[in-house]
Amino acid sequence: MKLISETKVFDGHQQRYEHASEVLDCTMRFSVFLPSQAENKSQKFPVLYWLSGLTCTDENFSQKAGAQRMASELGIALVIPDTSPRGDDVADDEGYDLGQGAGFYLNATQLPWKPHYRMYDYIVDELPQLVEANLPVTDRRAISGHSMGGHGALVIGMRNPGHYESISAFSPICNPISCPWGEKAFSAYLGADRQSWEEYDATVLLSRATEQQPILISQGEDDEFLEQQLKPNALETAAEAAGYPLKMEHHAGYDHSYYFIASFIEQHLRFHADYLLKP
């Protein structure tokens, strides 16, 4: 783990690290925010993992969301991974919605993607192990994300309830097996067997869930991707049928941008704090 940059913000430390990933077989970068109390060497913090959306890197959220102020006040660390494996030897595509910058937080089973595109294993196992071994954090985790990252947060959170205290998402891709982004990515990464796609579909997973977790979703009503790509109504319908206490909030006038995230990130951090900081 190599520290490549560090900036002070709200009395905490915004850092960027580089490391060799065994799971992804490439060099990866991720960003970390440590609250001001991190200077007390004996103190450790619970972690919110943030998964970003299509075309993003680990820096979009740290630079645009304004999350550090509230994270510092609450005493929560933020860990922000990249959205895919990177490098000259890593398969890519000309489209923005496949390949580098579009890992979809799954484990690819098809060539040429299979050797590197194992973002599910990276987020669930390798990255937390690395972070917890080298930074002043505990093993109490929550997970959140935006768009493709919201899809990742819901899927990873629901498939690993013992790993995460709470889950949230902004404008998530809720039913990827039934939208153009998901169908394109899943066909490439997972192949033609649509049944295998269901492991990475939040709507399907929620309908089959045997354990209920705290989930908060914020969705802008002026989001240009709302009807065709995100399909929050499918998730709400599944939750109602399953009696799952999903908290879905619709916000009039807001779009898909980081302006929306910045407007409600404090609410999400306080939501996670209720579970991360409880005795």
The catalytic residues are 147, 223, 256
For residues 19 and 24, what is the distance between their CA atoms, to the nearest angstrom?
11
For residues 58 and 232, what is the distance between their CA atoms, to the nearest angstrom?
25
- Distance separating the N- and C-terminal Cα atoms of the chain: 31
How many other CB atoms are found less than 10 A from the CB of residue 158? 22
For residues 54 and 47, what is the distance between their CA atoms, to the nearest angstrom?
23
For residues 52 and 109, what is the distance between their CA atoms, to the nearest angstrom?
22
For residues 11 and 40, what is the distance between their CA atoms, to the nearest angstrom?
13
For residues 69 and 71, what is the distance between their CA atoms, to the nearest angstrom?
6
The pairing of strands 26-34 and 12-21 is: antiparallel
Task: Tell me the CB-side half-sphere exposure of residue 36, using CA atoms within 13 A.
Answer: 9
For residues 204 and 175, what is the distance between their CA atoms, to the nearest angstrom?
8
For residues 258 and 104, what is the distance between their CA atoms, to the nearest angstrom?
19
Nearest CA to 152 out of 187, 182, 132 is that of: 182
For residues 95 and 172, what is the distance between their CA atoms, to the nearest angstrom?
20
